[in-house]
Chains A and B, each alone.
Chain A
């Protein structure tokens, strides 16, 4: 073992150079070409930056942006709600509820989510609520809903915003993301993009 010790230490140091150093730096370099330079994909909302301060005009960098893939908490009646989250959509952490399928506390919690949803969406039948609207995601940052999860909220939003329901259905259909190549995976909508479009709807 003694004869192996020094070579083992040096070989480990070499591996640090290769797999921590060279590999990471190379990936970091290539990432500069990736969306937003590898700093997370964003949606730019506004770049209006010209502010008048006293008599001089100078540009203040107040880029307003959201992370496209990181879900946000939407509980306001005027927005499409997002899924419940065990970490309250705070991207500083991530995680699911880790509740077992038969846990009585958990089932009571789902029941109360159903009740809240029905109270805010009069006229919707229980059997029309898709389960993702009352269950927490794995990451606590799920940015998506199934199209049905958005459709079931239309009448509430139409009333709150005084918009025709047809317009909202059309908006959802515009934002439906088909499965990969129309062949693989789920159909979904990005709640953030949908709500941004909703605010821009005239």
Chain B
């Protein structure tokens, strides 16, 4: 059989094999049960809580949780702005990279605090090692904050009536120390032994065999690459991310890094099942997500392995497939697998340039982000899916004439309103801002933004806002995006689309938690069945996919039909 396809099947199987036990482990952490890393981390966490004057046992209601989350993020934002605007003279800058302009610092800080990792700079020339270390910090703590928010929702869905939903700081710190840190250590060590650098030395200069002088950027990359994959961050150490040989040296590291993208998001779905003792519900959610994922994945692999028809017209042979923007050591199949995995999960790292994907593959990567709930980002992916569950419960309830209920709690007008608003925010931000940018281009056709003409140029802008709003961070990188317009508008989009879709689901969960628990009866609409799974899937297709159909028709679909 084709060894490229084998590689993909291996990655798919490995992900679920690791994610299931990890889900059990995560559930144990949220429940406060004993886990194997207790001897190491219990004393550390105790010490940190003591000097931070925090009582990790104090129960919080949903509003207190959100205040804690927002305060932490405000502190991080200030820290990020200060360091990025001053990194030029701060230590650990062997390559002499400059401080950031205010608009670029704003974009970059928001991008990393919001777990997006959209990069309008290039790592080799735009970031000092000091700056990189701070981004690495954000990659841990923004992911930790996302997982903590998911933990609050898990807690709220328990079969009881309460306002007490655990302690935010406890969920947050444990997510970082018990989940993200150990996994990152494993990944960092494996990739550094396969050739990813981990050093504070600056650029090296080599004379090539042909006699050209070339510089080779290095740095403490292995540590950052590990957490960027594990925490669905995606912000690479080097400009071209995991396509760079130093960031992703061979097929084995590609497998490890690719599995790391999906690992925690899928594990969190299983964690929900273990935590609520509702494994069937977890399998239903995993099933819906996976069906959606495969619908995007299979055609993309097929298209990329088939090559670019326009190149076929030129007469060359495309044995490997479409190779523009791709690396020979991965091949088009593994590049397509990564492209879809990274966009459905809000990771945003790349091992091939998405701008050069064939038109429909480009569309499938955008669709992954536009739905933004197939696996999704660590923690927040589940929160987005939770919104679709609420809407599906409501619609299903109307269809069969029963009171909408979710896990023994009545879902009423207020919750539905919040869910609908949260859902609408995503297409609103993407479409409005893409329209604005298109209008600006229409007014000033000379704006040097686009790297490609026609439909593909439109796709570059649509992709940028889709990626910002999905907190994904990948890009059609041809877009010249380090300008005040793109830095500020994308920053605003990322900010809104990070915090509102966290606050909304947590609020719904908090309201539901307070309500009276109604034990299941014959009249209950069961949410852990295949039928309900199909219902959720239909809601996702109808709401999310169709909201974007017209925009996609103007970009990738039109480009596809223009090929001859």
In the complex, whether B307 has a CB less than 8 A from a CB of chain A is yes
Max chain A C-beta neighbours (<10 A), residue from B169, B184, B200, B317: B317
A132's closest neighbor in chain B, by CB? Answer: B323
A138 x B352 contact (CB < 8 A): yes
Question: Within 8 Å CB of B209, what residues of A?
Answer: 66, 72, 74, 79, 192, 195-196, 199
- Cα A156 to Cα B358 in complex, Å, equals 33
In the complex, whether A57 has a CB less than 8 A from a CB of chain B is no
The answer, among B203, B254, B316, for a CB contact under 8 Å with A92, is: B203
Q: Shortest CB–CB separation between residue A148 and chain B, in angstroms?
A: 6
A98 x B245 contact (CB < 8 A): no
- Binary contact track A118-145/B, C-beta < 8 Å → 1, others 0: 0000000011111111111111111111
Q: Shortest CB–CB separation between residue B121 and chain A, in angstroms?
A: 12
B239 x A93 contact (CB < 8 A): yes
In the complex, whether A158 has a CB less than 8 A from a CB of chain B is no
A139 x B245 contact (CB < 8 A): yes
- Cα A31 to Cα B321 in complex, Å, equals 36
The answer, among B76, B124, B249, for a CB contact under 8 Å with A93, is: B124
Q: Which of B211-219, B294-302, B383-391 contacts A (4 or more CB under 8 A)?
A: B211-219
Instruction: List the count of A-B residue pairs having beta carbons below 8 Å apart.
Output: 373
- Cα A128 to Cα B488 in complex, Å, equals 48
B325 x A138 contact (CB < 8 A): yes
- Binary contact track A3-40/B, C-beta < 8 Å → 1, others 0: 01111111110111011100110111011011101111
In the complex, whether B198 has a CB less than 8 A from a CB of chain A is yes
Q: Shortest CB–CB separation between residue B326 and chain A, in angstroms?
A: 6
The answer, among B222, B255, B311, B350, for a CB contact under 8 Å with A131, is: B311
The answer, among A6, A39, A100, for a CB contact under 8 Å with B218, is: A39
A24 x B199 contact (CB < 8 A): no
A94-B239, A96-B477 in contact; A102/B456 too (CB < 8 A)?
A: yes
Q: Which of B259-267, B327-335, B365-373, B535-543 contacts A (4 or more CB under 8 A)?
A: B327-335
A75 x B478 contact (CB < 8 A): no
A93's closest neighbor in chain B, by CB? Answer: B124
The answer, among A4, A67, A79, A144, for a CB contact under 8 Å with B67, is: A4
Q: Shortest CB–CB separation between residue B450 and chain A, in angstroms?
A: 10
Q: Which of A47-55, A103-111, A165-173 contacts B (4 or more CB under 8 A)?
A: A103-111
A20-B133, A92-B215, A96-B325 in contact; A1/B71 too (CB < 8 A)?
A: yes
B67 x A1 contact (CB < 8 A): yes
B141's closest neighbor in chain A, by CB? Answer: A15
B199 x A38 contact (CB < 8 A): yes
A95 x B317 contact (CB < 8 A): no
- Cα A93 to Cα B122 in complex, Å, equals 8
- How many A residues are at the interface, by size bracket? 35 or more
- Cα A100 to Cα B453 in complex, Å, equals 9
A131-B317, A186-B4 in contact; A138/B185 too (CB < 8 A)?
A: no
Q: Which of B30-38, B187-195, B276-284, B508-516 contacts A (4 or more CB under 8 A)?
A: B187-195
A100 x B317 contact (CB < 8 A): no
A23-B223, A131-B323, A144-B329 in contact; A92/B189 too (CB < 8 A)?
A: no
A5 x B124 contact (CB < 8 A): no
- Cα A40 to Cα B192 in complex, Å, equals 9
B350 x A141 contact (CB < 8 A): no
29-55 of chain B: CB within 8 A of chain A: 44, 48, 51-54
Question: Within 8 Å CB of A19, what residues of B?
Answer: 136-137, 140-141, 176, 181, 227
B564's closest neighbor in chain A, by CB? Answer: A102
Q: Shortest CB–CB separation between residue B309 and chain A, in angstroms?
A: 8
In the complex, whether B476 has a CB less than 8 A from a CB of chain A is yes
A79-B209, A186-B3 in contact; A142/B356 too (CB < 8 A)?
A: no
B357 x A101 contact (CB < 8 A): yes
- Cα A185 to Cα B1 in complex, Å, equals 11
B246 x A18 contact (CB < 8 A): no
Q: Shortest CB–CB separation between residue B467 and chain A, in angstroms?
A: 14
List 6 additional contacts besides A19-B140, A83-B328, A137-B327; criterion CB under 8 Å.
A5-B71, A14-B48, A94-B122, A101-B456, A102-B562, A184-B7
Chain A to chain B contacts (Cβ below 8 Å), 6 pairs: A19-B227, A40-B246, A92-B124, A92-B216, A94-B238, A131-B319
Please list the residues of chain B having a beta carbon within 8 angstroms of any beta carbon in chain A: 3-4, 6-7, 10, 44, 48, 51-54, 67-68, 70-72, 74-76, 79, 122, 124-125, 133-134, 136-137, 140-141, 169, 173, 176-177, 181, 184-185, 188-189, 192-193, 195, 197-201, 203-204, 206, 208-210, 212, 214-218, 220, 222-223, 227, 238-240, 243-246, 249-252, 254-255, 307-308, 310-311, 314-331, 334-335, 350-353, 355-359, 451-456, 459, 476-478, 559, 562-563
